Amino acid sequence: MYLEFRSVLKYFRDYVEASGGISEVKKGFDWSVWYAAKWWLEIHSAGAVNLKKPFVKALYLSLLAMRIIDEDGNIHKEVKKPELPKGLYAREWVEMHQLFDELGAVKVARDEVDRNSLDLLFSDIQVMGWHRLMVNAFLNAFGESDGHAVLEPFSREGHLAQLYLESYKPAAYLGYDPNPSLVEVAKQVVPNATFVAAPSACQLSGQFDVVLLVEKLQWMADPVRELDCISKLLKPGGKLYVAQPVADSTPGYLAILTAMGAQHVYTWTEVEQLIGIRFALEKRLVKTIPFYVAIFAKPHPRPARETLR
């Protein structure tokens, strides 16, 4: 995955420099792998492996994809403890994993951790410096501009909308989320955007220029159906901006998200194949570092064939 660093520098230079350079970014991502292996070993040793649990399944699929464990869950490749990064944001990324580690991987696997503790950590992650910087880097890399009608699926507490509106002036901004409580929080966080409680895009109407799929696929109960409904809301030629954490590079972070309610784990190829069912890949920026990042577009309808008389 580290072969992509030239592209990472090209599109995410601000993030790299704020993290202390490429070597510091690498150390940070090495820690995500190390923590994932640590948590799996703890769960495996405690006899708490239950692949029906999203957190456990996320660790299994990620580490299997990285060939760190075999199909039986046994450690196949030792992961050495990395050196701590010195860069501020790279260090903060590691500290996020440490905070989750303190909750106890075995307790999380057995659903013994207080839900409020997980919800608070999720909220904290959204406002961490590394996360805000990374999301802004994604938006810049997409080449976003003012004047678009924007749709945000699974808008959660509104932090993505807040960052977007700090830099851009959309014609309209609509976020939807199946959790009414989160919708109310989002309305307080970003009063100049519109948020609605809806289980799916299938319950919405309207036409949009841009869909922000930044860390969204993991929340969708039925991603194929959800993307199909999103496609109906996107104008022909409209853009789908994708930034998705993947098993190839961020196994620890993905495991944290599943503990907080995320339902799916994908490799970068699975993300591309899934979205490619309804949308055309316009530009792939990076495959794995920091996330899978790409621009998709809704194809224009084909002109009807003229019939011969």
pLDDT digits (tens, 9 = 90+) for 46-59: 999 999 999 999 99
Percent of the chain topping pLDDT 90: 87
138, amino acid identity = F
pLDDT at 74: 94
**For the chain, domain boundaries:** 2-126, 143-247+262-297
Using pLDDT thresholds of 50, 70 and 90, give the confidence band for residue 305: low
- Amino acid present at 95: E
3-state SS of 19-53 is CCCHHHHHHHHHHHHHHHHHHHHHHHHCCCCCCCC
Best CATH choice for the domain 143-247+262-297 from the list 3.40.718.10, 1.10.10.10, 1.10.3720.10, 3.40.50.150: 3.40.50.150
User: What's the sign of the alpha-carbon dihedral 158, 175, 178, 250?
Assistant: negative
Using the predicted structure, report yes or no on whether residue 1 has a pLDDT greater than 60.
no
Which position has the token pair 């495959």? 287
pLDDT tens profile 147-203:
999 999 999 999 999 999 999 999 999 999 999 999 999 999 999 999 999 999 999
pLDDT value for 10: 84
pLDDT for 107-146, tens place per residue? 999 999 999 999 999 999 999 999 999 999 999 999 999 9
- Give the dihedral sign, CA 68/58/162/139: positive
Position 217 scores a pLDDT of 96
pTM of the predicted structure, to 2 decimals: 0.93
DSSP state of 2: G
